[in-house]
Each structure stands twice: as structure tokens, then as C-alpha cells.
Amino acid sequence: MKKFNFIYALLLSSVFISCRKDHPVKVDTSGNKPVIAAVRDSVSYTIDGKTYASVPGSYSSLSSGGQEIDRKVVYPDSSNKSNYGLIGTNQDSVLYYQKNTILSDNASIAIFFIKKYIKRHKNDGLFYAPELKDLLKLFAVGKHPYAEDFEWENSQDGIAFSVSANNKGYMSYNAFNPQKSNTLKPGFQKKSTFEIINFTKATSGGYNLEARFTAVIADNTGEQKKLENGYLRLYFEPIVAAD
């Protein structure tokens, strides 16, 4: 059993992690194939009319992990609401996520690409990694739904993220927090969009991703704001199941 603390939205634990500040990629320029360079991770977005943008040299990382799905809140002692657990009711499947993080003084984001998978073996725990062909479907060009109940019920595939603005943290999803004064109603992202507009394999072997997005975001009290003009670029080498 564990508690979720909003303050650590950008620092959620994961199974695997790799960190970088730049992408010093060496590529073979011989031959006739065009060279596709690795892009530099960056993000920008507008909240309350103010635009936030990461700067060159920002810290970035890639991680992945798994969580139980179809979770319910359980209180061992009904008189003590500060002691609770989020217990999955479907033990045959796992919610897998890839998390890409960009941290800078001007703008920060932790974005999760989320999908539920049936476990390969019944005794498998949460240490799950999909095969490459399945993982790449998470980044298909086109519009992707938001996973509104990530870090709570975990019943939805899609996108979830947390961002910073004016030294405050905001989420695109309704994570469970017993201290939250109000919660977001299901469907709160129905007018929001997340669209991957480019996904290309770089010459180095990794992948470049480019996306535009808008979203409803909320702080740990449930206060909502509109994020507009979101733009994201990522380069990553996916973490996949061993052969």
C-alpha cells in the first residue's frame, strides 16, 4: 500500500531509467541513404496567456514501468482515511507506460504513453516490457486519447502528463489524492487533443517524435486551467522485451 503525493508527479518511480542532457549521436554518412538526425528534446505550452518553453541543455530522461489495472481504493481501517491502498482487480493484465521527462527552469513535462497488456505468463509481476512492434503502436501518427484515470483506476489507454508553470505542478489526469478538495469528472478531456504529427526512425537507430496538444490541467486542489499551443519533440531509444 502506498500514497500518491502530487509534489512528486515529475518523479514517479519506474522500472527502467536512462538519463541524458544532449544527444551526441554518431551516424554513418556513407552510402546513398539520407541522414535523419536525432532531434533535441524540447517542449513548449501556453497557460493563462503565458508561454513556457524549455531551453537547450535541459535535463531529459526516459523510463518505463508497470502498474496494476482496474484499481480500487481500499481502506484497511475505515476510520483512518489517510491509510489506504490502490489494489488492482485484474491480475491477468498490466498497465505499461513509457515516461519521457524534460526538466528546465522555464518549462518541464513528464509525459506517459500508456497501454494495457495481457501478461505473457500468469505469474508475471509488473516488470513488463512489450515487444518492439507492439510498443511502436503507442507512437502512431494521429490523434491519441487522454488516459484520465491514470494513477487511480488505471482503466484507460492513452496519454497522461504533468507540467510546471509559475513554480506549480499541474496534471492532465485525475490521480488519486485523499487531500484533494474536489475531483475531475470523467470526460473532462473530451475537448482536448493530443496528436502525434511525426514519428520517424533516426539514422542513429532511435526514434524522433513530434506532437501538438491541448489539455485541461489541474493542480492538487482540483483547480483547473487550460493548456494551449502545446508542442513536443522527443528522441528516444525504446525499452523493449529481450529476445
Q: How far apart are CA 96 and CA 99, in angstroms?
A: 10
pLDDT for res 65? 93
* Mean predicted lDDT score pLDDT of the chain: 85
pLDDT at 3 over 80: no
Neighbour count for residue 195 (Cβ, 10 Å): 14
pLDDT of residue 220: 85
Whether the Cβ atoms of residue 41 and residue 25 lie closer than 8 Å to each other: no
Listed range (68-77, 80-89, 151-160) with the worst mean pLDDT: 80-89
The predicted structure's pLDDT at residue 187: 95
For 90-135, the pLDDT digits (tens) are 888 999 999 999 999 999 999 999 999 988 776 677 778 889 999 9
Summarised one tens digit per residue, pLDDT across range 48-70 is 999 999 998 899 999 999 999 99
Long-range contacts of 178-182 (CB under 8 A, 24+ apart): 178/3, 178/81, 178/82, 178/84, 179/220, 180/220, 180/221, 180/222, 181/221, 181/222, 182/221, 182/222
Task: Identify the pLDDT of residue 2.
Answer: 40
Q: Write the pLDDT tens digit of every residue in 148-188.
A: 999 999 999 999 999 999 989 999 999 887 766 567 889 99
| Confidence check: pLDDT of 4 > 50 | no
